[in-house]
Structure 1
Amino acid sequence: MKKQVRTTFTDRREDAMEAKKKLLEKLKAAPKADDPEVIARRLEREAVAKARAERQAERARLKAEEQERKAAQDAADAEAAYAAEHAERLAREAEDKARAERAVADMAAMKEKRDKRYAARKAR
């Protein structure tokens, strides 16, 4: 079945008035703010919002704790790295000092050998 096309001005005006009447009836039939059903839905939405806020606060608290733990771990890691570097530096300095002492001892031994050779040459 074909839909009739209503194109005259009066037809369009009647359609608009009918649509306005239907909208007004729909608004009149809507539940009022003091309706128990509306109050129950509002309370339910408030409970859901409160639960959501609590979950968000818990997530924020956990995130802050995780950041604090990570910061403490990073500080401990940095301190351990500094201690290891310091120990390595001390070991290097001790090794350098031992090497210098060996070099001085070797030079003293060479001087002593040289002095013995000179003394032996003079004695001949």
Structure 2
Amino acid sequence: MATYKGVSFQDRQKSMAEAKKALLEKFKARPAADDPVVIEREAQSRAIFVAREARAAERARQKAEQHAAMQAQLKADEEAREAASIAEAARLQLEAEAAIQAKDRLEIEKKAERDARYAARKGRKAEAKSEKRRYR
């Protein structure tokens, strides 16, 4: 099997040491905490955080307002349904009472007609009886 002959073990060790050294220098070259660039970056981060929190608070406030409005609407709808139900029950009660009164009035009228027929029949019988007595 053929191996790659361009880079030896020492070359690889040397390049690895150089990469490690470059990484260490990059880490050491990082600005200090009191550097103006770092302070400005932290201030920007803080401003972004504060803005995010403000937006989240505004969303929460809007959501709470929407929830309260929805609850108020539901309560108003429920009250309207209850009022309609009460009105419907009252209407049905009035209709039932009117039907009962109409039925009672009809029964009274029928009884009056029956009594009138009975009285007329009794009168006819009495008249017929009196005619029979005349001829006896």
Is 1:101–2:114 an aligned residue pair? no
Return the letter of the residue paired with 2:32. Answer: K
TM-score normalised over the length of structure 1: 0.89
Indicate the larger mover: 9-18 or 94-103.
9-18
1:85 corresponds in structure 2 to: 85
Counterpart Cα distance in 2 of 1:23 and 1:33: 20
* Partner-residue secondary structure (3-state), 1:30: coil
1:58 corresponds in structure 2 to: 58
Is 1:116–2:116 an aligned residue pair? yes
2:67 corresponds in structure 1 to: 67
CA RMSD of aligned residues (A): 1.7
Counterpart Cα distance in 2 of 1:117 and 1:70: 69
- The alignment-based identity, stated in percent, is 46
2:23 corresponds in structure 1 to: 23
Deviation at 1:80, TM superposition (A): 1.0
Counterpart Cα distance in 2 of 1:12 and 1:89: 96
Deviation at 1:5, TM superposition (A): 4.5
TM-score normalised over the length of structure 2: 0.81
Is 1:44–2:36 an aligned residue pair? no
Return the letter of the residue paired with 1:15. Answer: S
Deviation at 1:62, TM superposition (A): 1.6
Deviation at 1:122, TM superposition (A): 1.1
1:47-80 CA-partner distances (Å, limit 9, x unpaired): 1111211121121112111211111111111101
Indicate the larger mover: 63-72 or 91-100.
63-72
Higher Rg: 2
Relative distance call for 1:5 and 1:88 in structure 2 (3 A) is farther
Relative distance call for 1:60 and 1:116 in structure 2 (3 A) is same
